[in-house]
Amino acid sequence: MRILSKGYGMDGGPNFDAQAVIDAMGPLIGIDIAPDDRDGIGDYLRVMADFAALLFAFPLDGRDEPAPAFEA
């Protein structure tokens, strides 16, 4: 399942619910999130959702191939 897609409300649009993401992800990754930290984390998630929306909006077709692994 792609959670960063328009169908799941994580595209930075009006359906994005950062608090719901925090509620779901905290227990999933095994951390307790302090109430004082929730607003800051929500702000960060909204920024990241906006970035993800830009990436998913980039047009690709079946002929596009992933880049090879970068090695420095």
d(CA 67, CA 5): 22
Is 10 contained in some domain?
yes
d(CA 48, CA 5): 13
pTM, 2 dp: 0.64
d(CA 34, CA 28): 15
Contact 8, 2 (CB under 8 A): yes
> How many structural domains does the chain have?
1
Look up residue 71 and give its DSSP letter: -
pLDDT for 12-55, tens place per residue? 566 788 999 999 999 999 999 999 999 999 999 989 988 888 88
pLDDT for 13-23, tens place per residue? 667 889 999 99
Three-state DSSP at 27 gives helix
